[in-house]
Chain A
Amino acid sequence: MTAVVAQAVVNGLLIGGIYALVSIGVTLIFGVVKIVNFAQGEFVMIGMYISYWLATLIRLDPLASLAVSMPALFVCGVFFQKFLLRRVLGLGDMPQIFLTFAISLLLMNVALLLFTADYRTVQTGYTFASLRLGPLYLSVPRVIAFAVAMLLSAALEIFLRTTDLGKAMRAAAQNRDVAMLMGVNPDRVFSVAVGLALALAGAAGSLLMPFYPAYPTVGQQFVLFAFVAVVLGTLGNVRGALIAGLMMGMAESLGVQFVGADSGLIVVFAMLLVTLAVRPGGLYGGQTR
């Protein structure tokens, strides 16, 4: 029994690394630009399709295609900020929610038109490999995904703590107006923040590709977890999002193990509702603009 629980916890932790990457992206955009990006999951989907097509057409390993998907999505993010998000900054909830929501719908449906609803998978040499650790089995592609996710999160944290641009970003997250008075260039900071957030989503997509199918609505699987994780971990807080992302992974895995195979989402919604009912003020409900 303990072995079963331990296995479920470990499995959840490994996929939780991916949830953490997506959640960090959502929380980074929210922290700096003050917009909840409903389309974050669709950028994971784009990252997956980039890796899928590179693997299918030129036989590039999905992990190697990180070197393509992350820069490509960083550039996407810069354009996303410059041409779309910038136009609704400070306009209130309605335009902000429905702009990113419409982009999410558009990307999903364009993917459906281009690539059909087929599940597409990439088989790598290590797709079915696993490590044995005492009584536990660890799937190799998931371990790699988790390790790279943690490395990227750590790199982001170091970037935010040590570089001037990172500090400017944190300053803008804490108080945008004062940061601007101190000489922070908001356009540049916003573009880099959105670019980084989308690069993390792209990385999540490439890391998923060796063991998870790509399909047009795949992003929805991840973005719902990310939203709940971001509420749990306090909005705008990168470490909070990381820890809450890992927790969501474990909660989902335990739910699937002990409640039923199709109950992953139910567990997520239950966590969301319980959070709202028990600690709304401590998380987000108390601090609105």
Chain B
Amino acid sequence: MENKRNKPSPARFWMWFNPIGRETGGWAFILNRVTALGLIFYLFLHLIVLGQLAKGPEGYDGFVALMHNPYVIVGELLVVAAGILHGLNGIRIILTTFGIGVTYQKTLFYTLMAVALITILIFGIRMFTA
């Protein structure tokens, strides 16, 4: 029987994001990976956009004016959310790697996500009422 499983397959790459049958830790893994990819995209976007500063006041001030629409603010909130989620999840990974909290890793995850949610809500309120 030909074993097709050793060939790299795009379908199996999407298995990362398959949520069926997953438990808490599996969700944490998906969340961490998705936020990581989002943040990488944002990082390079941010660096390029900041190049506007080198164009002097017309470049930068014009650009800032453009950024004052609600779609952009939602996008910025998503970035903040991704950063908080990824950072807190990362702390969970460091703790469990060094043996701290392995037995209660699910509780740890829920607690950290609760902290994340509250922080993101605070940010959201501030960003939309400022």
A, B in one complex: no
**What is B's interface to A at a CB cutoff of 8 Å?**
none
